[in-house]
Structure formats: structure tokens, C-alpha cells
Amino acid sequence: MELRQEVLEEMALLRERTPDVQGSVACTVDGLQLACDLPGEQGEQAAALSAALLAMSRRMLAITGHGTLEETLISGTAGFTAFYAAGPTIVLTVLAGPGANVGLLRLEGRKTAAALAAVSARKH
């Protein structure tokens, strides 16, 4: 099975396990979309911004000496966006609604990111 299909399957499992998840996108650390489970045509833009935010988040942690990146969580008036490093080459971005259980989102987001990292490692 190809990388894109396996990534999409993991993203579908995330949506099944976490009812508040509205969609997700996986991209390379360079911002190229691998798989998208977002409504409309948001995937390419979300991928590019995800890679940029991952780089900024990692840099901030390096400057402040606060360890390695686990996640970046953005809270907005209409919901949440969470970003996860899924190994050294993939970024996972997850969108959740305004009433989302943030603890569950974080737990399942990290689990999915780990699964994507494993998929990527098997493919390379």
C-alpha cells in the first residue's frame, strides 16, 4: 500500500476515535501535502502553513531550551487547530470544533502522529 493511502487510513481512524475532529492534513516538513481530510480546497494552504508553524515551534523551543516539540495547539473562537511532528519528515494538522475535548484531542493527535511516523519509517 502506498504512503498516501496508509496516512489517510490513520487520519480516518483519528476522526472515528475523536468525534470533535473536523478534519486533518498531513504534509512533509517542506509543506507538500501528503494526504488531506479537510473540507473544500484548504489542503494545500494548510500544508504550507503547517510546515512553517512546525519550523517556528521547533525554533522557539530550541531558543528557550524547553525540549523537543510535542505539539502546537491554537485555540480560536470557532475551534482548535493542533499541529504534531510525526517523525522527522511529516507534519500532522488536526482541526476540532469549539466544544472539543482538548485532552482527548491531544491524546489522539499524538497517537496518530506516532502512527504516521511509523508508517513513514516503514516506507523509507
The reported pLDDT for the residue numbered 93 is 97
Cell of 25: 492534513
Maximum pairwise Cα distance, the chain: 41
The reported pLDDT for the residue numbered 9 is 96
The reported pLDDT for the residue numbered 39 is 77
3-state secondary structure of 116: helix
Averaged over successive runs of 10 residues, the pLDDT of the chain (124 residues) comes to 91 95 95 90 92 96 95 96 95 96 96 96 81
The reported pLDDT for the residue numbered 71 is 94
